[in-house]
Structure 1
Amino acid sequence: MITKITVLAIYVAILFLIGILASRRVKSMSDYYLGGKKMGFWAVAFSARATGESGWLLIGLTGMGAIAGYSGYWVVAGELLGVFISWQFMAKRFKKRSDEYKAITIPDYLQSHFKSSTNTLRILSASVLVVFVVIYVASQMDVTGIAFESMLGIDYRIGVLVGFSIVLIYIFIGGFVAAVWSDMFQGILMFFGLVLLPIVVWFSMDHGAGITEGLNAIDPTLTQIMGRSNDGWMNLFTILGFSMIGLGFLGSPQVYVRFMSIKSEHEIDKGKWVALIFTLLTDAAAVTIGILGRIYFTQAGQDPESILGTGGEDVLSMVTNEFLPTILVAIFIAIVLSAIMSTIDSLLILASSAITRDFYQKIFRPDLKDEDLTKFSRLVTIGMAMVALGIAVLLYFLYPDRKIFWIMIFGWSGIAATFCPVIILSLFWKGYTEKGAIASMITGFFSVILFKFVVSEIEGIGAYFVELDVLAPSFALAMIVGYIVSKVFPNKRLEKDQIEIIE
């Protein structure tokens, strides 16, 4: 235990040092929320991936690999495709336009893009950000408690408070720069930890049978890459549910503010390869760790969740404790915390910017200058963190059998379904209007709730939508409604320009 605590103390000390160094660059609200738009590609790429992956990569996806077997690799394929499309086709366009608009936040970008004369779009987008970001941060804090309990034997509630305090202190000091720099440090830890662990486990296991043979001995459906059900439609919906998780990278604010912060469009070309390699190797490694844990710890006929935890969430801690010496277990605990905190810090900064910039400054106090809001920004960050902490504790007491993977995906999906269709259409379709954007956001927001709590309960089709989950159908509906509303209520200025061109 002393070794583990010592390693964690060193890890925390590094984060605090990063926060102190970053604080020297915070002289304005732009610095606090975007690092002055001077971030390099290594930092942005690692930060974007660490933020996008979060604690679900180590706790959720390893557990998914243990429960789903080979079909879990569809998550890897979907995420890889989403990251590629985002960096290859969207990042430069978004960076160029956000710079032209001098945008600091996503609502800033939307307000400027649509030349909005009202605050409706800004209020809507900022409100949705606050709601789903707080849910997502709460789920990350929940994982922090689970990680402390399963890997250190420390009470869940103490673990939540410790993790909460650590991340709050360094982002309170250094803002976005601290978040990105710490994300890079934590992303490197995640990368090497995840990639090396399945190699160590494989060479430590009995090689009497290969991976496929080992899974077949437990349950032959675990090796069916196209799904484990006898129902072909169920398998299709399962595959789509896994692979469509990657849609969230096509415009999620916590990822796209990093494109705002990068110092030039040229840096995006370099960062793309870093992001793709990181995604491929870490996601594949996470699923593989879960599969190896399933082979090692369970036998045919056993309920895996009774051994590996709900949703397989204990598999990572069981693997590390079984195959690694104490010092490496301690480092892996730091890696798990890295995955969690790299998302918490980014999301808190995002929610804080929505309240400070988009509500307080732009709507209630437009007379205030950016430099006058830095202190207020920090106070708002604390407030958001406190709310998320309260929700995390409620989740623990009210839903003891909750599945971490899907709680995180719900928060992730809510943000993605609300913002991704709007970002995509605003970048690639000139006919997209402010009313269309508002319709898209409202549809995406409520569709996530509709599919999660209503459609999934419908007899007959509900089970299919449980496997599909909420992101893909909500995303599609938001795109369709945005297109229809933009056609019904076209941009009058654009129509006038087109008539003049024809004449």
Structure 2
Amino acid sequence: MIIKITVLAIYVSILFLIGILASRRVKSMSDYYVGGKNMGFWAVAFSARATGESGWLLIGLTGMGAMAGFSAYWVVIGELLGVLISWQFMAKRFKKRSDDYKAITIPDYLESHFKSSTNSLRIISASALVIFVVIYVASQMDVTGIAFESLLNIDYRIGALIGFVIVLIYIFIGGFVAAVWSDMFQGILMFFGLVLLPIVVWFSMDHGSGITEGLNAIDPTLTQIMGRSEDGLMNLFTILGFSMIGLGFLGSPQVYVRFMSIKSEKEIDKGKWVALIFTLLTDAAAVTIGILARIYFTKEGQNPEAILGNGGEDVLSMMTHEFLPTILVAIFIAIVLSAIMSTIDSLLIIASSAITRDFYQKIFRPDLNDKDLTKLSRLVTVAMALIALGIAILLYNLYPDRQVFWIMIFGWSGIAATFCPVIILSLFWKGYSEKGAIASMITGFTSVIFFKFVVANMEGFGVYFKELDVLAPSFALAMLVGYIISKIVPPKHIAKALKEPIE
């Protein structure tokens, strides 16, 4: 235990040092929220990936690999495609336009792009950000408590509180710069930890004739890449549910604010390869860790959740304690916390910007200077973190059998379905109107709730949508409604052209 605490103390000290160094670069609101738009590609790529992955990669995806077997690799394919499309086709366009608009938040970008004369778009986007960001941060704090409990035998509530305090201190000091620099440090830890663990485990296991044979001996359906059900339609919906998680990389604010912060469009080409390699290797490694754990710890006929935890959430803890010396187990504790905190810091800054800049300054106090606004931002960050911590502990007490993977995906899906269709259509379609954007956001926001709590619980086809989950249908509906409303109420320049007489 002393070794684990020592390593954790060193890890936390590095984070605090990063916060202190970053604070020297915070001179304005732009510095606090987007690092003065002068971040390098290494930092942005690692930060974007660490933020996009979060604690679900180490706790959730490893568990999903154990529960689903080979079909969990569809998550890897979906994420890889999402990252590729985002960096290859969207990042440069978004960077150029956000620079032209002098935007430092996503609502800034949207309001400038649509030349909005009202605050409707800003209010809706900021409100959606705050609601789903708090849910997502709460799920990350939930995982923090689980990590401390499973890896250090520290009470869940105390663990969640420790994680809360750590991440809040370095964000409070250094803002976005601290978040990006710490994300890079934490992303490197995540990368090497995840990639090396299955290699160590494989050479340490008595794996007999191989992974496929090992899974077949437990449950032959675990080796079916196209799904484990005898119902073909169920398998299709399951595969889509796994692979469509990658849609969230096509415009989620916590990822795209990183593209705002990068110093130039040329840096995006370099960062793309870093992001793709990171995604491929870490996601594939996480699923593989889960599969190896299923082979090593369970036998035919056993309930895996009784051994590996609900949703397989104990997989990483069991694997590290079984195969690694104490010093490396301690480092893995830091890696788990890295995955969690790299997302919490980014999300809290996004939520803080939504309230302080997009609500308070832009709507009520346009006269407020940057210095006062930065102070307010820090206070709002603390308040948002406290609310998220309260929700996390409430979830722990009310739903002890909750599945970490899907709670995180719900928060992720809410943010993605609300913003990604709007970002995509605004970048690629000149006919997209402000009214269409508002309709897209409202549709995406409400559809996530509707599909989660209504459609998934319907008799008959509800079970299919439960496997599909909420992101794909909500995303599609938001795109469709945005298109229809933009055709009915086109942008001003198109509406004007339509009214002009033909000579």
TM-score bracket for this pair, using the shorter chain length: over 0.9
How far 1:208 moved relative to its partner?
1.6
- 1: CA distance between counterparts of 2:344 and 2:107? 20
- 2: CA distance between counterparts of 1:332 and 1:138? 22
CA offsets 1:331-376 (integer angstroms, 9 cap, x no match): 0000000000000000000000000100000001011122331111
Decide whether the 8 Å contact of 2:63 with 2:290 is kept in 1: yes
- 1: CA distance between counterparts of 2:440 and 2:489? 13
Give yes or no for the alignment of 1:74 onto 2:58: no
Please show how residues 52-71 of structure 1 align to structure 2 within 5 Å.
52-71=52-71
Structure 2 counterpart of 1:450, one-letter code? F
Task: State the match for 2:276 in structure 1.
Answer: 276
Task: State the match for 1:32 in structure 2.
Answer: 32
Task: State the match for 2:116 in structure 1.
Answer: 116
CA offsets 1:241-274 (integer angstroms, 9 cap, x no match): 0000000000000000000000000000000000
Please show how residues 14-33 of structure 1 align to structure 2 within 5 Å.
14-33=14-33
Deviates more, 1:363-372 or 1:257-266: 363-372
How far 1:207 moved relative to its partner?
2.9
Task: State the match for 1:383 in structure 2.
Answer: 383
Give yes or no for the alignment of 1:491 onto 2:498: no
- 2: CA distance between counterparts of 1:179 and 1:499? 49
Deviates more, 1:189-198 or 1:486-495: 486-495
Task: State the match for 2:392 in structure 1.
Answer: 392
Task: State the match for 2:475 in structure 1.
Answer: 475
Decide whether the 8 Å contact of 2:352 with 2:377 is kept in 1: yes
Structure 2 counterpart of 1:360, one-letter code? Y
- 1: CA distance between counterparts of 2:356 and 2:128? 15
Task: State the match for 2:44 in structure 1.
Answer: 44
Task: State the match for 2:163 in structure 1.
Answer: 163
Give yes or no for the alignment of 1:209 onto 2:212: no
How far 1:458 moved relative to its partner?
0.7
Task: State the match for 1:438 in structure 2.
Answer: 438
Task: State the match for 1:194 in structure 2.
Answer: 194
Decide whether the 8 Å contact of 2:41 with 2:270 is kept in 1: yes
Task: State the match for 2:335 in structure 1.
Answer: 335
Give yes or no for the alignment of 1:345 onto 2:345: yes
How far 1:498 moved relative to its partner?
6.6
Structure 2 counterpart of 1:413, one-letter code? S
Structure 2 counterpart of 1:126, one-letter code? A
How high is the sequence identity, in percent, across the aligned residues? 87
Please show how residues 427-466 of structure 1 align to structure 2 within 5 Å.
427-466=427-466
Distance 1:77 1:502, change over 3 A: farther
Decide whether the 8 Å contact of 2:207 with 2:214 is kept in 1: no
Structure 2 counterpart of 1:224, one-letter code? Q
Structure 1 counterpart of 2:179, one-letter code? A
CA offsets 1:270-327 (integer angstroms, 9 cap, x no match): 0000000000000000000000000000000000000000000101100000000000
**Displaced runs of 4+ in structure 1, greater than 2 A?**
369-372, 492-503
Structure 1 counterpart of 2:196, one-letter code? L
- 2: CA distance between counterparts of 1:315 and 1:5? 21
Structure 1 counterpart of 2:299, one-letter code? Q
SS of residue in 2 equivalent to 1:115? coil
- 2: CA distance between counterparts of 1:196 and 1:404? 24
TM-score by length of 2: 0.99
Please show how residues 254-265 of structure 1 align to structure 2 within 5 Å.
254-265=254-265
Give yes or no for the alignment of 1:144 onto 2:144: yes
Unaligned 5+ residue runs, structure 1? none
Task: State the match for 2:426 in structure 1.
Answer: 426
SS of residue in 2 equivalent to 1:243? helix
- 2: CA distance between counterparts of 1:233 and 1:207? 34
How far 1:492 moved relative to its partner?
2.9
How far 1:406 moved relative to its partner?
0.0
Structure 2 counterpart of 1:107, one-letter code? P
Could you say what the CA RMSD is over the residues aligned between the two structures, in angstroms? 1.0
- 1: CA distance between counterparts of 2:353 and 2:494? 31
Decide whether the 8 Å contact of 2:70 with 2:222 is kept in 1: yes
- 2: CA distance between counterparts of 1:499 and 1:459? 49
Task: State the match for 1:286 in structure 2.
Answer: 286
Task: State the match for 1:318 in structure 2.
Answer: 318
The aligned length equals 503
SS of residue in 2 equivalent to 1:228? coil
Task: State the match for 2:235 in structure 1.
Answer: 235
- 1: CA distance between counterparts of 2:170 and 2:290? 32
Task: State the match for 1:95 in structure 2.
Answer: 95
CA offsets 1:76-97 (integer angstroms, 9 cap, x no match): 0000000000000000000000
Task: State the match for 1:401 in structure 2.
Answer: 401
- 2: CA distance between counterparts of 1:491 and 1:288? 49
- 1: CA distance between counterparts of 2:335 and 2:492? 53
Distance 1:501 1:392, change over 3 A: farther
Structure 2 counterpart of 1:49, one-letter code? R
TM-score by length of 1: 0.99
How far 1:491 moved relative to its partner?
1.7
CA offsets 1:148-202 (integer angstroms, 9 cap, x no match): 0000000001100000000000000000000000000000000000000000000
- 1: CA distance between counterparts of 2:65 and 2:208? 22
SS of residue in 1 equivalent to 2:54? helix
Structure 2 counterpart of 1:354, one-letter code? A
- 2: CA distance between counterparts of 1:61 and 1:497? 51
Unaligned 5+ residue runs, structure 2? none
- 1: CA distance between counterparts of 2:399 and 2:370? 42
Task: State the match for 1:360 in structure 2.
Answer: 360
Task: State the match for 1:415 in structure 2.
Answer: 415
Distance 1:441 1:396, change over 3 A: same
